[in-house]
Amino acid sequence: MHTPSSSRPAPAVGPTATITWVQPAGPGDGPTRRRTDLCEGESADFGRDRFSGAFKLGAQPLFGSFEVDDDRLMISNYTTSTTFVIENLEGGSELVKARPRHLRMSVPFEMSRIIIPAGMDVFEFTAFGPEPQMLDAEHAIDYGNVPLARLDTASKYFAVLVALCEPRLRGNSMAAVPSVQELVARLRGTDLFTLPSRSSINYHIDYLVEQKVPVTQWAKYGDDGRRHSKREALVAFAMRFDLVSEEHLDLLPRPA
C-alpha cells in the first residue's frame, strides 16, 4: 500500500519548543517574562514555590512537566484534582484538557496557552511547540466539490458568519454569541451592508443553516441537552471546522 510522503521539518539544530511565563514582581522590580527552551529529549518540571507562591519551572511542590519527544511537545499533570486547560492561541475557542494524573499528553497546537488554577489564583504558561509534519501538496486530496469548500468569502452570508464568530476569533472563548440586533449594529455601514435589518440578517442565518453549513443534531444540542439557537450552532460548527479564521476579521470594520 502506497503511503503519501510528508514534508518533515529538517532536524532541529537548536531548541524545538519554548515555554514562557510571567515571573511575579520581586523586591524593587516588576513582573518579568521568563522563558526556557527545550530540545529533543529534554524535559522541564513546573510547580508552585512553597515560600513565595510563585508558579514557575523547577518549583516545589511539582504540578507537572513539559517534555519534547519525537517532534512533539507533551505535558504531564501530576496533580490529583486539578485539570490543566490548553488553549490554541491561533484558534479562538479551541482547547483540550490535561486531566489529573494524565501523563505525556501531546499538546496539539503550535502555539498554546496552558491555564492552571491553584487556590484563588490562575497561572499561565505560553508554549511554542515543534513545527508539525505536513503532507506534500501533490498528495493532498482536493475536496473542492464539497459544499463546505464553496463558502463565498465575498458574500453577505459569509460576512454574517464572520460577525457571529468574531468574539471567539478574537480569543474570548467565553464570549456570548452576538444577538441579531448586535449583528445589525456590527455590519451597518460596511461595503456589503449599508442599512442591514433584523429580517435581512435572519435571512442570511437561515440561508447558512439550510444551504451552506451542515448544522446537524450534534451541533444543535449542547452536552446538557439544551437546544442551541441557529446562531450558536453555526458558531460551534464554524469554529470547530475552521470555516472562518482571524484573517477574515478584515471583512469587518475595526472595533470602536
pLDDT per residue as tens digits for the range 195-245: 899 999 999 999 998 888 887 644 555 555 555 688 988 998 888 888 898
Per-residue model confidence (pLDDT) at position 1:
43
How high is the pLDDT of residue 91?
66
At 53-86, the pLDDT tens digits run: 778 888 888 999 999 998 899 999 999 999 999 9
Of residues 139 and 227, the one with the higher pLDDT is: 139
Has residue 256 got a pLDDT over 80?
no
pLDDT at 188 over 70: yes
The DSSP code sequence of 119-160 is: TTEEEEEEEE-PPPPEE-GGGS---TTSGGGG--TTSHHHHH
What is the average per-residue pLDDT within 40-46? 93
- Model confidence at 110, pLDDT cuts 50, 70, 90, reads very high
Residue 110 sits at φ, ψ, to 5 deg, of -70, -40
Report how far apart, in Å, the C-alpha atoms of 231 and of each of 36, 206, 227, 248 are: 42, 9, 11, 18
What is residue 13's predicted lDDT score, i.e. its pLDDT? 52
The reported pLDDT for the residue numbered 184 is: 96
Task: Assign 15 a pLDDT band (cuts: 50, 70, 90).
Answer: confident
Give me the pLDDT at residue 36, please: 92
The pLDDT score that the predictor gives to residue 214 is 81
More confident residue, 223 or 14: 14
At 86, list the grid cell: 490548553
pLDDT higher at 13 or 116:
116
Rounded CA-CA distance 49/39 in Å is: 25
Q: For the range 143-152, what are the long-range contacts, defined as Cβ-Cβ under 8 Å and sequence gap of 24 or more?
A: 147/212, 147/214, 148/213, 148/214, 148/241, 148/243, 150/212, 151/212, 151/243
Phi, psi of 78 (to 5 degrees): -90, 0
Mean pLDDT value across residues 113-118: 90
pLDDT surpasses 90 at 98: yes
Q: What is the pTM of this model?
A: 0.67
Residues 6+ apart with CB under 8 A from 145: none
| Three-class secondary structure of residue 250 per DSSP | helix
The pLDDT value recorded for residue 218 is: 47
Q: How far apart are CA 169 and CA 89, in angstroms?
A: 10
Contact 61, 48 (CB under 8 A): yes
Average pLDDT, the chain: 83
Please state the rounded mean pLDDT for residues 88-101. 84
> In whole angstroms, how far apart are CA 77 and each of 58, 101, 119?
14, 5, 16
